[in-house]
Amino acid sequence: MQLVQKGLSNMKLSSREYKLMLHKDKFAGDASMRQSAISHFWQDLEDTLDSVEFSLSKRPKLSVSRNLFFLDTKDSLLFKRFDMMLRLRRKCDSSGPWSATLKFRHGDRLLADNHRFRPRKAVSQGPESVSFEEDVKTGTAAQSSSFWALFSRSARARIDDLDGLVALADIKQTYARLPQELNDDLDKDLVRVGGLSIVEQVFDGGKIDFAGVQAECAVILWYRSGSLDTPLAAEFSFRFGLDDTSRNCAALAWRLFRSVQRLAWVDTDGPTKTALVYGAGKSGSLADGNAFPARIGTADKSAGADFDGMQA
């Protein structure tokens, strides 16, 4: 039986991504040590999987280094009241526009699907600017068979000048169809969440084939600005599109997810990257509570001052 509810956007769910936090200390060191650690992780993963059901190809390699930070009000209104996040990032060696992603995430698929926000045409990044995806993470207990699913609507926009993004009102100039309740707080300033300036290194290109799909794999490392030897967070993920998936695909994806959890590399109690930024994780927050700039546009005119030594 198919249920149709008036008012829902009924946007197609495009992909599922499984995410696991890794022990960050295993990736400490210089660039060659990081790549060596990732190669060892990939070999351990291959050794633990059934070669009849799973086929691994290539190995994740560094593809991009990006500067990133999150914007919110000082009381985290977007995150705490609206379940939304606004992330900005661009390549470390770039002085061009920033890519902004406004994301709503929730465990209720219908609620996530009910949002309509999108980038305005002048700042849209093309037909793929809006996506609807599912993230799968581990449950609360290390040996539990449960998992935590979050559905997210994401909208990407181009930001040419951070001086044009200093208050909640400016988000309305970038995105259309935002929740009406935001209108009550449009005068609130935007700040970098926790004053954090993060460097993100993405190691991708690894593939796992099973049940007729090819999952794209990545290891993502986060660093505090200016320190590329000591990771703040490490995450492994694999994702695949949902167009041609089968019942067997779902079963094997779950088996793969559970197999990865048994690796010594996996930090089953580690907080997610989002929890680290917003202070909702078991191990606390990366944020310095006294580091909030007054206004993002004036304190971070180019954001370059906070991203020293970021080249890979």
Which of 62-71, 120-129, 286-295 is modeled with the greatest confidence? Answer: 62-71
State mean pLDDT over 222-250: 90
Mean pLDDT confidence for 8-36 = 90
Q: Please name every residue paired with 9 in a beta bridge, in sequence order, or none if there are none.
A: none
Tell how strand 130-138 and strand 147-159 pair up. antiparallel
Which sign does the torsion angle of CA 151, 236, 276, 94 carry? negative
Q: CA quadruple 115, 119, 121, 125: dihedral positive or negative? A: negative
**Has residue 134 got a pLDDT over 60?**
yes
Question: Of all residues in the chain, what percent are helix, strand and coil, respectively (each to 5)?
Answer: 25, 35, 40
The answer on pLDDT for 19 being more than 50 is: yes
Tell me what pLDDT residue 146 has: 65
Q: What band does 247 get if pLDDT is binned at 50, 70 and 90?
A: confident
Mean pLDDT of 240-260: 89
Alpha carbon distances (Å) from 121 to 117, 176, 253: 12, 9, 37
pLDDT of residue 148: 83
Span 170-182, pLDDT tens digits: 999 999 999 999 9
To which residue do tokens 């999150």 refer? Answer: 70
Question: Span 174-193, mean pLDDT?
Answer: 95
Alpha-carbon distances of 209 from 56, 181, 244, rounded to whole Å: 6, 45, 13
The pLDDT of 78-82, averaged and rounded, is 96
Extended strands (E) in the chain: 15-21, 55-57, 61-72, 84-91, 98-106, 118-119, 130-138, 147-159, 175-176, 191-192, 198-210, 213-224, 233-241
In percent, the amount of the chain with pLDDT more than 70 equals 83
The pLDDT value recorded for residue 286 is: 56
Separation CA 155–CA 165 (nearest Å): 16
Average pLDDT value for residue range 91-109? 95
- What's the whole-number average pLDDT of the chain? 86
Q: Quote the pLDDT of residue 51.
A: 86
Mean pLDDT for 186-198 is 94
- Residue 102 CA to residue 119 CA, distance in Å, equals 9
> Quick one: pLDDT band at residue 303, thresholds 50, 70, 90?
very low
pLDDT at 173: 93
**Site of tokens 């609206």:** 82
Which residue type occupies 68?
L
3-state secondary structure of 160: coil
Instruction: Give the pairing type, strands 118-119 and 175-176.
Output: antiparallel
Phi, psi of 43 (to 5 degrees): -65, -40
Pairing relation of β-strands 61-72 and 191-192?
antiparallel
Of the listed ranges 2-16, 64-78, 154-168, 234-248, the least confidently predicted one is 2-16
pLDDT reading at 244 higher than 60: yes
